[in-house]
């Protein structure tokens, strides 16, 4: 499984109209682009753990989209409906990190080693 992970901070002066365009574009992408297995968006939770202090930037939101493989992720990213989502997303963001990962379950993932 491939996870498309997006950590983001909206612009502090984000206008409601821009936010509405982002929501509409994301809704259209979820509805119209095939191959997406799961899509989740969440708000960062802090609970006093030491690792929270290691974060140099607070990305208040995360989106995690899951695909069966890289080819399906590429098809999602190259779909014409994704163009509108990308434009709306970058209109609304102050900062973003976007990473793609080949994910494995549990201990099997660590057995592949690092490096």
pTM over 0.85: yes
When divided into structural domains, the chain yields a total of 1
Domain-located, residue 98: yes
Q: For residue 35, is it left (φ>0), alpha (ψ between -120 and 50) or beta?
A: left
Per-residue pLDDT of the chain (115 residues; tens, 9 = 90+): 999 999 999 999 999 999 999 999 999 999 999 999 999 999 999 999 999 999 999 999 999 999 999 999 999 999 999 999 999 999 999 999 999 999 988 777 777 766 5
Q: 78 in a domain, yes or no?
A: yes
- CATH assignment of the domain containing 42: 3.30.70.100
Q: Which domain covers residue 32, as residue numbers? A: 2-46+56-104
């Amino acid at each position: 499984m491939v996870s498309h992970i997006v950590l983001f901070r909206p612009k502090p002066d984000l206008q409601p109209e821009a936010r509405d365009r982002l929501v509409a574009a994301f809704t259209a992408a979820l509805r119209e682009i095939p191959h997406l297995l799961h899509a989740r968006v969440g708000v960062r939770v802090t609970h006093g753990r030491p690792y929270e202090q290691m974060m140099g930037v607070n990305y208040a939101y995360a989106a995690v989209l899951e695909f069966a493989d890289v080819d399906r992720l590429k098809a999602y990213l190259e779909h014409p409906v994704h163009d509108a989502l990308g434009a709306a997303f970058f209109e609304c963001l102050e900062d973003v990190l976007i990473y793609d990962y080949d994910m494995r379950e549990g201990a099997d993932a660590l057995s592949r080693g690092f490096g």
